[in-house]
Amino acid sequence: MKKHICLLEGDGIGPEIIAQGAAVISRAAGRYGHELSFEKALLGGAAIDATGEPLPAQTVEKCRQADAVFLGAVGGPKWDDVSPDKRPEKGLLGIRKALGLYANLRPALLMPELAGACLLKQGTAEAGIDLIVVRELTGDIYFGEPRGISGEIGNRTGFNTMAYREEEIRRIARTAFDLARLRRRKVCSVDKSNVLETSRLWREVVIDEHRGYGDVELSHLYVDNAAMQLVRAPSHFDVLLTGNLFGDILSDEAAVITGSLGMLPSASLGASRPGLFEPIHGSAPDIAGQDKANPLATILSGAMLLRLGLGLPEPAELVEKSVRAVLAEGFRTADIMEPGMTLLGCVAMGQKVIDYVDKL
Ligand code: IPM
Ligand code: MG
């Protein structure tokens, strides 16, 4: 079976990590007789430089024709001064919206091999971290209208609109409950319903949608408390369901407590294909082009692409096993380096994973 992947390398370390990610998944798929073809398209700062737009129409077209989209990262100081509607980030938000990718899945897993890199107290780390943030991705204050800055300089007002329609809440709630059934059957919904009407509706609709899922345990936390519980007792969480803005913040927190932002993958899914798969970290312009980036979050996003984007669980598992084997052998990139381990660059780390994909 031949599958077609659109590669959006983006900016900063994007091209380096995508090169490793694409090489690994191509090899893993090949071991099970599946052929992957790749085509690049421009997104973010790279697209601004080439076309003046962060999301050229041709990129949307190429993504729509693909079976899955594999994305590096966008943004960098070079484009800090461009007008707000032309920023690289607009390209990323635009492609999520254009493809209808309303469900962003961000697993945070503390691999035993990396327990030493966990930022939390030893006892907390020993209890384990295996949670998944289900973040709504195409609504909320990210997209709400009206938005803008009005008034005369010296007396201006900036404003955004936080809004959720019932149907948007229902479908992401179902995503979370369905996913919980494949895990430990616990959903914690995060909102700020003590202050925000948007959140009051959120909680009401989540409770209503839960009626179809009697086998799944549902709890609720205010976002400030959730942020605290994530560092105090992350092992209590299974599926964390939340909106776009809170999910953005909590998923960085969930990621970094496991040791490094450089390890965590994500999948963005809609009602139909293609899905989009990307590491949750940014473009790290400070280390771009130096062969220092950790490609493992991208490689693990590639595993999610194989499993959820293409429906190929076997090569997905092979990639995940290979990453763990490489870590167990003591190979590390700079961001997860510990005494006594072997330091590798981005290319060498990708190659190590391929070695295991070939032999496991
Ligand atoms: C993320 C990022 C993006 C977001 C930015 C780059 C627009 O932080 O994917 O978490 O806020 O969604
Ligand atoms: Mg973020």
The catalytically annotated residue of 142, 164, 213, 356 is 142
Assess whether 252 carries a catalytic annotation. yes
pLDDT number for residue 117: 80
pLDDT at residue 341, as a whole number: 95
Catalytic-role residue among 62, 192, 292, 352 = 192
Which of ligand 1's atoms lies nearest the C-alpha of 251? 10
Matching fold, domains 1-99+274-360 and 128-260: yes
Q: Tell me the pLDDT of the chain (360 aa) as tens digits.
A: 799 999 999 999 999 999 999 999 999 999 999 999 999 999 999 999 999 999 999 999 999 999 999 999 999 999 999 888 889 999 999 999 999 999 999 999 998 888 888 888 888 888 889 999 999 999 999 999 999 999 999 999 999 999 999 999 999 999 999 999 999 999 999 999 999 999 999 999 999 999 999 999 999 999 999 999 999 999 999 999 999 999 999 999 998 888 778 899 999 999 999 999 999 999 999 999 999 999 999 999 999 999 999 999 999 999 999 999 999 999 999 999 989 999 999 999 999 999 999 999
What residues have a C-beta under 5 A from ligand 2, the ion? 248
Which residues are within 8 A (CB) of 311 and not within 5 positions of it... i.e. 6 or more apart?
none
Based on the residue annotation, tell me whether 248 is a catalytic residue of this protein: yes
What CATH architecture does domain 128-260 belong to? 3-Layer(aba) Sandwich (3.40)
Q: Which pLDDT score, from 0 to 100, does residue 256 have?
A: 85
CATH class label, 1-99+274-360: alpha beta
Q: Which among 46, 73, 68, 23 is positioned nearest to 354, based on CA atoms?
A: 23
What is the CB < 6 Å shell around ligand 1? 89, 92-93, 248, 280
How, if at all, do strands 103-109 and 68-73 pair? Answer: unpaired
Q: Give residue 248 CA to ligand 1 midpoint distance, Å.
A: 6
Give the model's pLDDT for residue 133. Answer: 97
Q: How far is CA 88 from the centre of its chain?
A: 17
> Catalytic annotation on 2?
no
Protein residue closest via CA to atom 12 of ligand 1? 248
Phi, psi angle pair for 169, to nearest 5°: -70, -40
- Ligand in closest contact with the CA of 79: 1
Domain ranges for the chain, please list them: 1-99+274-360, 128-260
pLDDT of residue 255: 87
SS (H, E, C) the chain: CEEEEEEEEECCCHHHHHHHHHHHHHHHHHHCCCEEEEEECCCCHHHHHHHCCCCCHHHHHHHHHCCEEEEEECCCHHHCCCCHHHCHHHHHHHHHHHCCCCEEEEEEECCHHHHHHCCCCHHHHHCCCEEEEEEECCCHHHCCCCCEEECCCCCCEEECCCCCCHHHHHHHHHHHHHHHHCCCCEEEEEECCCCCHHHHHHHHHHHHHHCCCCCCEEEEEEHHHHHHHHHHCHHHCCEEEECHHHHHHHHHHHHHHCCCHHHCEEEEECCCCCEEEEECCCCCHHHCCCCCCCCHHHHHHHHHHHHHHCCCHHHHHHHHHHHHHHHHCCEECHHHCCCCCEECCHHHHHHHHHHHHHHC
CA angle, 143 then 85 then 102, to 5°: 30
Instruction: Report the nearest atom of ligand 1 relative to the CA of 266.
Output: 9
The active-site residue, picked from 102, 252, 352, 356, is: 252
What ligand is nearest to the CA atom of residue 93? 1
Contact (CB, 8 A) for 266 and 289? no
pLDDT at 123: 84
Is 90 designated active site? no
Residue 120 pLDDT:
87
208, 224, 286, 358: the active-site residue:
224
Which atom of ligand 1 lies nearest, measured to the CA of 75? 6
CA of 248, closest atom in ligand 1: 10
Note the pLDDT of residue 219.
Answer: 98
Distance 1 CA to ligand 1 centre (A): 33
